[in-house]
A = this chain, B = another copy of it.
Amino acid sequence: MMNLIDYLPTIPDFPKPGIMFKDISPLLADKDAFSHAMSELHRLSLQTPFDYILGIESRGFIFASALAQISNKGLIMARKPNKLPTETYSEFYGLEYGQDYLEVQQNIIPQKAKILLMDDVLATGGTITAAASLVNKAGAQVAGALVLLEITELLGRKKLSEAHIETQSLIEI
């Protein structure tokens, strides 16, 4: 049995002192590890009915796109400010290191559609909570959140639970 955590080395003090950064690059570069991770994420996703996958820029795009292919679902992009053309919904958020805005296009998410939110890492939950607000602003429903890796000590799951977002993670540390 492949232990995926072996493909996620910790890089201390990146991008800032005190941050223990989990590097997903070795997992992605190993075709068997990447394929195995996606099969397992697909299995977890089957527990939640959804119509679209929302990928959060930019590492979330990687997992969301691969799952969209496996699941035959459409992919919605949640992007950093000023990257998306046409009118957007915008949501401010704080994250483990710094703060930013996240945007989705106003005309891209069908009303009442069920949207699965996807990112690589669940840390404090700020980014995923912002993505959920954008889905709500669009008049759609959050089906749940799915991540590769959850850093449990940062209590993101508690924050998502308070926002009524069901969360699944493939790996917890």
Beta-carbon contact of B65 and A14 below 8 Å? no
- From B25, B61, B68, B105, contact of A25 by CB (8 A): B105
Number of copies: 2
Residues of chain B within 8 A of A123, CB atoms compared: none
Beta-carbon contact of A28 and B66 below 8 Å? no
CA distance A84 to B24 in the complex (A): 10
Beta-carbon contact of A23 and B61 below 8 Å? no
Residues of chain B within 8 A of A86, CB atoms compared: 11, 23
Closest 10 pairs between A and B when the two form their complex, measured CB to CB: A58-B58, A11-B85, A14-B85, A28-B75, A62-B65, A29-B74, A66-B69, A31-B74, A61-B61, A65-B65
